[in-house]
Structure 1
Amino acid sequence: MHSPRRVRGHRTPRAHRAGGARPVRPRSARGRRRRGSRGGRAVSDLRHTLLLASAGTGKTFRLTSHFLGLLFRGVPPARILATTFTRKAAGEILDRVLERLLEATRDPKALDELNAALAGKTVSAADCTAKLAELTRGIDQFRVRTLDAFFVHLAQLFALDLGLAPGWSILDEADNRQLEAEALSRALTEADRAEWLVLLRTLQMTPASRSVHEALASAVKIARSAFLDSAREAWDTFDPGLGFAEERVAEIRAALAAFQVPVTQKGEPNKNWEKAHRQALAHFDAENWKGLLELGLIKKLLAGEPFSRLPIDVDVFGPVAQHAQHRMLVALRARNAATRALLERFEVAYSRLKRARGGYRFEDLPAFLAPPGAHGEDPLLERQLDMWYRLDGRIDHLLLDEFQDTAPIQWRILRRIADEVLADGTGERSFFCVGDVKQSIYGWREAEPRLLAGMAERYPQLVPETIAKSWRSSRIVLETVNRVFRDIGANTALDGEQERAAATEWQRAFAEQDAAKPKPGATWFLQAEPKGEGENAVFPVLRMAAQRAAEIVREAPHCTVGILLRRGTYLARLIYLLRREGIFASGEGGNPLTDSMAVLHALSLLQFADHPDDKAAAFHVQTSPFAAQAGLQPITNPETEDAERRAAARTLRERLASEGYGPFLAGLLREFGASGYGEWDRKRFSQLVDLAFAWDGRAGLRPSAFADFVREERVEDPSSAQVKVMTIHRSKGLEFDAVILPELDLDPYNPRNEILTDRPEADGPITAVSRSASRALLASDPELERLAGIDVHRTVTEFLCLLYVAMTRAIHRLDLIAQDPARKTSAPTYARILRAAFGTDEPDEDGVLWRHAENDDPWWGSPKSERVESIAEPVVQDGLGLAPSTRLRETPRRAPSAQEGGTVRSGADVLAPRNRSAMTRGSLVHRTLAEVEWLEDFQATDAELLALGVELESDEGLRAEALAEVRTALGREHIAALLSRAGREGLEVWRERDFSLVLPDAGGGEHIWTGAFDRVVLAEDGAEIIDYKTDRIPAGGLAQRVEFYRPQLEGYRRVLAQLTGLDESRIRCRLAFLSSGEVVDL
């Protein structure tokens, strides 16, 4: 029996190739087959261009200049293909072409600028007028498209050859999610029982709280793109070997058990060694190989370091680590195989469902055109599909914008056109490629910046031209950018060997930028105040960002402001904070219409029409201005309530089917006059009506399908807010007078990439795939370690690209806001990178860590045009109504418990990871105390109480711990008095009483309040609310915790007043701190 490989530590992966495709050289005019006329004058003085354009350097100007030069040389628009990444960018290219022509017809300066850009071609204003007229008459001939649109066009041409469904269309998000869920269900159904069980065991290596479906759906989501661009053998990337024989394993275990723990100078066992040895033996016996490898002793062994200042016996612990590594590698290999098996079944079912539905996703189309295995020079020609014949004419000029965002599978199709154009030696065809590897931020969409980096090698006729002069940003902003990135490879925050290598390679593409024009500017690096007790660390940063934005708007009302976030988690919260500052803001691309109460009422109406027994939706409609139109009047006879509700829902469905969604909702809009809705609701409801008319062309029988669509669809606010809040990814291609970056403390490796891949050739397939694992395990296998190194390189590269993109959106002002570093981290966060670059650590009294020494005052330029007023109406709601739940019932919801701390918490905050054991302990304590009506009558045994908690927690030890806490609390004087019947005879007691009711808010809207009272004691003329708290209160911290919980108890008081009819002044609120035995009245 072979032994597993020796224990290994980390090493730097070998260099990753950037390309390697064979060069394509031009053909001479003589050697080239002549073609017929292209419908215009001869073009013989063109050159090919590879433009490496840093941010703000005018790449769109250069691209449109090339485009206009072709048009004025007589090239028909149909012979030019210009592709870019987003619809907005494609529209901007076309707009700029027409705009520059229009300006040149009426402005001599613009005409001179155009002639300078045309490089040797001189045109007159009359020429521009004629060309503009010609182009507008034939606007349909333009081929300025996104890559997605181009592939849609190709797929339509080859639909029959590719076996696509007749009359196919692009699936929207809601339909696609439904198909994905159904495909996953079918994939599991078609597997036999044995395979199904293996699949679950190997895939669901997650906490027990994670559902089976969630684990499987996650596996599909994260691994599908790698699956689609790799062969089966790529998933067998490493071999764990045969491992030790059973006899040898027994010997290893015996040696471990017999190991003598080192002793101290006093002759006593070293406690650190004793504990580590005990844990190692326990993990070995439990076959908990992951836990064994994570022990400090084993980590030190793998790193070649001593443990607790003493050398480690390699003869004893070396084989232990080897065996653990081998078993984990075997499990990982099985997990890889299970993932691929699941994906194979899923893809078959998913493809069938999409064909049956007649719908596909944009990302499906390149895979149809160049499927896995078709990795040659021309995947279409390999399948005898003649692109040129189907395109009804050749493309003589190829313009590729944002090329760093192109995916390998997309390039394999475009490559045929590029090769054809670049092989032409007559000067009659042209190739224009522009991009910037420093701005490649779409790796999660398979973007491959190495394609751009390798273009000059593949095509020797391309001579790269680098432009770094910025026409966007001020000198102050650019000097700040230069300071951060000019020496990024030596930044001390990037202290890992692989991180430094990635940063050094990134730095090679960076050229220091200077400003093309003098503009005022200012930059600051700031630190937010420390977080409050129990507060999310990012909240002070968001508050500072909102305050800074408000200051900017008030001092420079003509300036645009962009607040750019790494993730979308806190978008809604930040918009709310801005409105609380009196500033109206919106997200790029708009927000869902669910930020309007009128829209929420309409969605509840649609939900009710589809689900008549949804009483919450019915109640929401009954209490809205739409009640009469919906046929929902207050119920007077409970016996006929269900029948009346179902009849009303049936009538609504009939009206929607006969009238259509657009006319039906337009009718509701006409009734707004007496509705009490405000102007904002009217605006957003009008947009809902527009969506409804568009939906009518595809409407089915389920009203809730339209409601789901509305919740997902982002609609731009027509007022075009001065302040935009968006992710950095969405800001690509945009610019703002002032930029605020508040999320600088995120770990680039959290969450870690769950799939490791290797694509040796930039335009080739993926040749190695594996699920990720712990660092120790990855370091135990050379191939896995190599894949991990590639992943670190890719992660750090894109991380730096994101920071560069974010900082270079700024024209005049840049505010960088870091958290208070209460907890040290070794992760290379943006905050650490900036602290190292600026050489700063401690802020001044204003929270400023660093400011540019030459900040201008004022920092803004003169207004270019009038701006829409961005000062918002005062925020009257004290809750967050911007991002309501997207569950079935759409009234904004609120829970008194969510008011803790006096701040409104976003859904992401509510769902953020918490201390599970502490939460479970609290739930168990509350469940036990629910059995106590009066202490004098509480006779339950420990066994009975422990049994009550089984439904909440299977760990008997944790249940016993919670029970002991309850018994201790009940023995404390003030807690016992609180629960005693003495002086309260005959009073009613509620315990763990749930509630759900609609309450109006100060702004005229309403919220559904949901939750549960821990304990309420009711009298005829008053009531007492008792709320149990299991907090461990530090010395002197009681008053602070009481204030933290005060908003929650005030919420309970308001709810109870509504439920009982009591005046709020007659309701007493009391906090019972069980750990200290203190009871505090509010």
Structure 2
Amino acid sequence: MSIQAATPQINATVTASAGSGKTWMLVTRILRLLLEGAEPGSILALTFTRKAAAEMQQRLSERLYQLATVDNTELTQLLKELDLDTHYALKARNLYEAHQYCDYPVRTLTFHSFCQDLLARFPLEADIPPGFDLLESADLLIQQARNALYSEATLDMQGELACHLEQLMRLSGGLFNLDRVLNSFLQHRSDWWAYTDDNEIESSVDYARQQLAQKLELDTDQLDAAQHYNAFFSTRTIEQLKSYAKLLALNPTKTNLQKADRLTCCLAADEPGEHTFTEVQACFIKKDGNAYALKDTPTLRKKLGDDSADTLLELHELIPARIFSTQNILKKIHTYQLNQHWFYCGEKFIEHYQTLKRQQRLLDFTDLEWRSYKLLQNSENALWIQYKLDQQIQHLLIDEFQDTNPTQWQLILPLLEEMAAAESEKQRSVFLVGDEKQSIYSFRRAKPELQLQATNWLHQHLNARAFPLNKSWRSSPAIIHLVNAVFQQDQFKLTLPAFEEHHTHLEQLPGKVEALPLWHMSDMGEKTDGIYCRNPLKQPRPEIPGIHQKEAQQIAQHIKQLIHNKTPITQGSKTRAINYNDIYILLRKRAHVADYERAFREAGIAYLGTNRGTFLSCLEIQDMLALLSTLLTPFNNLALAQVLKSPLFSATDDDLQLIAAVDNGNWFERISQLAENLDKTHPIHRAAHYLAQWHALTDRIPVHDLLDRIFSDADVPGRYQRCTPEPLQARVAANLTLFLEMALDLDSGRYPSLMHFLLYLRSLQNTQNDAPDEAPMETREPRVKIMTIHASKGLEAPVVYLADTISTTRDKSSLSTLIDWPVEDRRPAHFQLIASARQQDDFTARLNQLHKNAQQKEDANLLYVAITRARQYLFISGCQPDKGPFTNWYQPVFTALQSLTGNQDDEHLSYQFAEPNTINAALDDTHEKENMDNFEIDPGLSRIIDKQKTQHIKTAQTTLSPSYADKQLNYHSQGNKETDEDAQQRGIAIHRLLELVISDSSHLDSELFKSSTLQRVANEMQIEISPQLEDWYGIALQNIQHPRLKHIFRPDNAVHVYNECPIQYLKNNSLVYGVIDRLIVNENDVIVVDYKTHSGAHSDNLKELSQNYPQQMQLYSDGISELWPDKRIKAYLLFTECMELFQMI
């Protein structure tokens, strides 16, 4: 890495490839600035996300703390890494304290935060309301603006707006497309403002129309299509068409005769127009837009003669050319008419949207950028504001510059120009970091070409130097070799022409790249016929696994194999076994994410999904919405039925039929009638009891308090947890908690009624971008992370699966916004709406092709980002669609593997660099533990505390070791020799299963409960679900259901019952502590039970086995007698193998 880029005395632009340490370099630059005496408040670092800004600030604090706390030897080494000598040691020591107590610290902001601060300082100059609020979610406001636009149009159905809207809807193809093109205009409003800003024509719409007509080379006086039809059907053209028809009939093939008749009939019309043109066009132009071919053959010349054949061939070239020319003119007219209506309606739409924000004193992110741009570029006070900022910003650093959009560049440019014009004796600096290969956010208006433009500008005006960083600190040579082999292929030389060969600092890190077998549609077998006229109440829709689900199942099995093989993961000097946290599944889009999630659930793999905006669609949230709807409208029988069937009450179909059989009243009234004759534990009785209470509270307490009461009364989280498969329990619990929080957080809990709360949630559900996401799962359990490549930007993982690498593509340019903004210009050169593919004129098609070329480049960038997320292992998978067109990432990776391995024959290839390291760290080491390795504890907390004499209640292992057992107790049968590890695993499993099964004995016969319980225990113990684990589940179940043990597991009159009860007390000045497996407190006595899971226990050897435990049980009993001195204590050992109690006391 070139440390010269961090030198404060030079301006620098850094092109940093993935994993090459750009953030380290940027923070190093800030450190160097501080060490050279720069004021912290004069340093401004900009990036694009809050997460990146926070990470930058955190890394700066960590490195300042490191400089302040290391010993002198380490400090000297750290200064050497910064290219500094020991003269800076004292200043380096003091920087951390100075940074912590500085009035104006180093600022690490997002672009939008910088704009927000700027506008807050100059609200009057920017013409915005002082004390404005930031609008982060705009969908609801956009919907209100759209409603206002339509309302204005309906007030005057013959008015200008109504006419424009009607024509725009007709030309765009319906109401859905109308909303689509209006949304597109609003999303590009800053481009529209820039395009029409400071023009000589007062009306922005008129200016845009005029510019479009000039670009289309269209005379606005000739927009009537009839003029061009008449021009086409000139006397000369009609004669040529008639001649063509006659000559065509002389070569009497079936097709020629049909065309000749068609031409003759259509030319007979008195006034040829659009219909005639369409008929003529069909005779010369195919449906794909190309002209029919007419070959010069001997047969043709034999039938027509040379002169007639020459005439026919000449006419066959001449007439289609005229058709194409007329078509292009008509398409230009269509483009112009479509856009003139779009300009007018879009401008009105923006006006309504801006008015709504202004009334509420709101600014959105686009406003922040545009208002800041106008403030620094065009306002009357621009020079003064630039001067004020220039005095405060002496050092500007920008991260991820490839994600900059044109507005942001124009916003930064005045600051750079001011720096370039400032006095040379002032120490000023600029530092830009980016990588065009990682630009993947064009949908956010990112323009990667701006990085080269900025580099050239800084070199020209500030003598900046360019530094490339292509050596990775992240990836194994296996990954880097693949990157080079892929992007040096011919197909990427056009899309990534500036790609340079990559290298890595981790030259000894083992790694592997593997292409998993590609799935083809032929692998799916024959398609089964669909079921028609099925009864959906009796016959479910058949679920046929799709090709993406097959691919997902393959990935799931491959992951389980990696876990089973304890694949080594090396981090620094440690090598440990892989866990689920180490694995990312990267997808290009979310279209098939449900297939991958389903496959992981079926395989028992814990995962974090990538669903967006699905919170309100989750079953548990739908149940909550149905419950609130029932409380608000008790006559809503369907909502009540959903609530009854939900885990809240767990009613069966028979229960619902019982309600339906009642003759009078709605269902809410019927359950009250039925409850009088039902047991208190019956679901209908419970529902009637609680729903009546909650309904009475509906209008008396706030929504949040009502939900809190419901969660408490019905034990909502617990009930859902018990009815949910183990992999989904954390997600369900998090969603329920988030729903409870939403009632308080939304508008600070000021909703006056339950109805308003429900209406708000339903309005969120109908918005595209504001619908809330599912809550992040708060769990320490390792989980595979499924995410899009865009979401993975800036992240890394030891193991990456790049899935769905072959995906179908379609042209999405129809009815999209086309903007041409040259990087050297201050405004866009062109702004228009693209018509449908069949209506695109040649000018639009040329610009659109340039846009498609840019999209191809971004697609290559996306592949680059995906591959470079991997640290050690990269696995590529895909499924081949049966229809095209499609983009194929699998093939270039496979070709690269063929090149790296020299294997051109096999269909399954893998490339491995170095042998995996030997595991030398604990299996359960986590990232959190590793991050604590270098954490220094305060010396005051490290003082040794005087040791207190303690006595631990000795609990024998859940089963004794075989050698000890054979020698001492001899309880094992000849064929049942367990190892210590096996016995311990058996004991832990049976203890845990007893605890889980006892806690929910109402679902013992449920297969879902069994499978979720087994999966939960398997995950906790990091073992597979095996027949042995199922046998242990059976032992637990048999003990709980055994009649002799009813007073232990199902006591009738117990006052209190405790499982895994900790006990701790002092005896003879010694601390005694332990855990009692089961404690039953009755009216007159207390029963202490300790489980013993010896696999060889039977009724004949219980006395012998119990000889090791008298002291343990006595200590338990002594402790319990301290708590209940007036009760008789009974202590038992329960031998789970033979389901027998052995009384010890």
Report the TM-score, using the length of structure 1 for normalisation.
0.65
* Cα deviation digits, residues 53-104 of structure 1 (max 9, x gap): 0111000000011112223334333221111111111111111112223344
User: In the alignment, what sits opposite 2:475?
Assistant: 473
Q: Which among 219, 228, 239 is matched to residue 217 of structure 2?
A: 239
- 2:140 aligned with 1:179: no
Q: For residues 853 and 126 of structure 2, what CA distance do their matches in structure 1 show?
A: 37
User: In the alignment, what sits opposite 2:165?
Assistant: 199
* Cα deviation digits, residues 446-472 of structure 1 (max 9, x gap): 111122111232122111100100111
User: In the alignment, what sits opposite 1:621?
Assistant: 643
| Structure 1 residues 257 and 370: alpha-carbon distance in aligned structure 2, compared to 1, 3 A threshold | farther
| Structure 1 residues 520 and 838: alpha-carbon distance in aligned structure 2, compared to 1, 3 A threshold | closer
* Cα deviation digits, residues 834-867 of structure 1 (max 9, x gap): 4665679x99999945433x45554999769956
Q: For residues 10 and 367 of structure 2, what CA distance do their matches in structure 1 show?
A: 35
Secondary structure at 2:397 match in 1: strand
| Structure 1 residues 199 and 597: alpha-carbon distance in aligned structure 2, compared to 1, 3 A threshold | closer
Residue correspondence of structure 1 range 201-600 to structure 2 within 5 A = 201-205=167-171, 211=176, 214-215=179-180, 217-220=182-185, 224=189, 226-231=191-196, 232-233=207-208, 234-236=211-213, 237-241=215-219, 242=222, 247-251=230-234, 252=237, 256=241, 259-260=244-245, 267-270=252-255, 274=259, 287=275, 297=285, 313-371=316-374, 378-379=376-377, 381-384=379-382, 386-387=384-385, 394-424=392-422, 425-426=424-425, 428-460=427-459, 461-487=463-489, 490-491=490-491, 503-504=493-494, 506-531=496-521, 532=524, 533=527, 537-555=547-565, 556=567, 557-558=578-579, 560-587=582-609, 593=615, 597-600=619-622
Secondary structure at 1:682 match in 2: helix
Q: Which moved more, 1:504-513 or 1:407-416?
A: 504-513
Residue correspondence of structure 1 range 683-722 to structure 2 within 5 A = 683-695=734-746, 697=748, 699-701=750-752, 702-704=756-758, 707=761, 712-719=772-779, 721-722=782-783
User: In the alignment, what sits opposite 1:1033?
Assistant: none
**Radius of gyration: which is bigger?**
2
Contact kept in structure 2, 1:408 and 1:448, CA below 8 Å: yes
Contact kept in structure 1, 2:878 and 2:890, CA below 8 Å: yes
CA drift of 1:313 comes to 0.5
User: In the alignment, what sits opposite 2:1061?
Assistant: none
Q: For residues 321 and 46 of structure 1, what CA distance do their matches in structure 2 show?
A: 61
Q: Which among 830, 854, 860 is matched to residue 889 of structure 2?
A: 830
Q: For residues 101 and 794 of structure 1, what CA distance do their matches in structure 2 show?
A: 42
* Cα deviation digits, residues 365-395 of structure 1 (max 9, x gap): 1122235xx8xxx416545584368769611
Q: For residues 440 and 368 of structure 2, what CA distance do their matches in structure 1 show?
A: 22
| Structure 1 residues 859 and 483: alpha-carbon distance in aligned structure 2, compared to 1, 3 A threshold | farther
Q: Which moved more, 1:663-672 or 1:443-452?
A: 663-672
Contact kept in structure 2, 1:477 and 1:523, CA below 8 Å: yes
Q: For residues 404 and 242 of structure 2, what CA distance do their matches in structure 1 show?
A: 57
Q: For residues 727 and 279 of structure 1, what CA distance do their matches in structure 2 show?
A: 59
Contact kept in structure 2, 1:84 and 1:402, CA below 8 Å: yes
User: In the alignment, what sits opposite 1:76?
Assistant: 39
CA drift of 1:511 comes to 4.0
Q: For residues 276 and 144 of structure 1, what CA distance do their matches in structure 2 show?
A: 76
Q: Which moved more, 1:506-515 or 1:52-61?
A: 506-515
CA drift of 1:442 comes to 0.9
Q: For residues 545 and 281 of structure 1, what CA distance do their matches in structure 2 show?
A: 61
User: In the alignment, what sits opposite 1:116?
Assistant: 80
Query: RCO (CA 8 Å, sep 6+): is it higher in 1 or 2?
Result: 1
CA drift of 1:421 comes to 3.5
Q: For residues 276 and 664 of structure 1, what CA distance do their matches in structure 2 show?
A: 82
CA drift of 1:137 comes to 3.9
Q: Which moved more, 1:769-778 or 1:588-597?
A: 588-597
CA drift of 1:819 comes to 2.1
Q: Give the % identical residues.
A: 21
CA drift of 1:445 comes to 0.8
Unaligned 5+ residue runs, structure 2? 1-5, 197-206, 301-312, 529-544, 568-577, 651-655, 673-687, 766-770, 929-1004, 1011-1145
Give the number of equivalent residue pairs: 809
Secondary structure at 1:573 match in 2: helix
| Structure 1 residues 586 and 125: alpha-carbon distance in aligned structure 2, compared to 1, 3 A threshold | farther
- 2:799 aligned with 1:738: yes
| Structure 1 residues 834 and 190: alpha-carbon distance in aligned structure 2, compared to 1, 3 A threshold | farther
| Structure 1 residues 651 and 293: alpha-carbon distance in aligned structure 2, compared to 1, 3 A threshold | farther
- 2:25 aligned with 1:51: no
Q: For residues 110 and 786 of structure 2, what CA distance do their matches in structure 1 show?
A: 25
Secondary structure at 1:639 match in 2: coil
- 2:844 aligned with 1:784: yes
Contact kept in structure 1, 2:182 and 2:342, CA below 8 Å: no
Contact kept in structure 1, 2:10 and 2:464, CA below 8 Å: no
- 2:115 aligned with 1:151: yes
| Structure 1 residues 305 and 563: alpha-carbon distance in aligned structure 2, compared to 1, 3 A threshold | farther
Secondary structure at 2:254 match in 1: coil
Q: For residues 88 and 280 of structure 1, what CA distance do their matches in structure 2 show?
A: 70
CA drift of 1:214 comes to 4.0
Secondary structure at 2:494 match in 1: helix
User: In the alignment, what sits opposite 2:1040?
Assistant: none
Q: Which among 94, 97, 114 is matched to residue 57 of structure 2?
A: 94
Unaligned 5+ residue runs, structure 1? 1-42, 495-502, 871-999, 1006-1082
Contact kept in structure 2, 1:79 and 1:395, CA below 8 Å: yes
Q: For residues 34 and 588 of structure 2, what CA distance do their matches in structure 1 show?
A: 41
Q: Which moved more, 1:64-73 or 1:125-134?
A: 125-134
User: In the alignment, what sits opposite 2:1074?
Assistant: none
What amino acid sits opposite 1:744 in the alignment? T
- 2:721 aligned with 1:657: no
Residue correspondence of structure 1 range 838-857 to structure 2 within 5 A = 848=907, 850-852=909-911, 854-856=912-914
Q: For residues 482 and 361 of structure 1, what CA distance do their matches in structure 2 show?
A: 42
- 2:81 aligned with 1:136: no
CA drift of 1:793 comes to 2.5
What amino acid sits opposite 1:238 in the alignment? L
Q: Which among 784, 806, 809 is matched to residue 723 of structure 1?
A: 784
Secondary structure at 1:815 match in 2: strand
User: In the alignment, what sits opposite 1:750?
Assistant: 811
Contact kept in structure 1, 2:242 and 2:264, CA below 8 Å: no
Q: Which moved more, 1:465-474 or 1:384-393?
A: 384-393
| Structure 1 residues 393 and 343: alpha-carbon distance in aligned structure 2, compared to 1, 3 A threshold | same
Q: For residues 804 and 664 of structure 1, what CA distance do their matches in structure 2 show?
A: 52
Contact kept in structure 2, 1:227 and 1:343, CA below 8 Å: no
User: In the alignment, what sits opposite 1:1022?
Assistant: none
Contact kept in structure 1, 2:495 and 2:860, CA below 8 Å: no
| Structure 1 residues 52 and 724: alpha-carbon distance in aligned structure 2, compared to 1, 3 A threshold | same
* Cα deviation digits, residues 543-581 of structure 1 (max 9, x gap): 333443443444432461111111122233322322222
Contact kept in structure 2, 1:813 and 1:860, CA below 8 Å: no
What amino acid sits opposite 2:596 in the alignment? L
Q: For residues 843 and 253 of structure 1, what CA distance do their matches in structure 2 show?
A: 66
Report the TM-score, using the length of structure 2 for normalisation.
0.62
What amino acid sits opposite 1:448 in the alignment? K
Q: For residues 291 and 560 of structure 1, what CA distance do their matches in structure 2 show?
A: 64
Contact kept in structure 2, 1:80 and 1:143, CA below 8 Å: yes
Q: For residues 504 and 845 of structure 1, what CA distance do their matches in structure 2 show?
A: 25
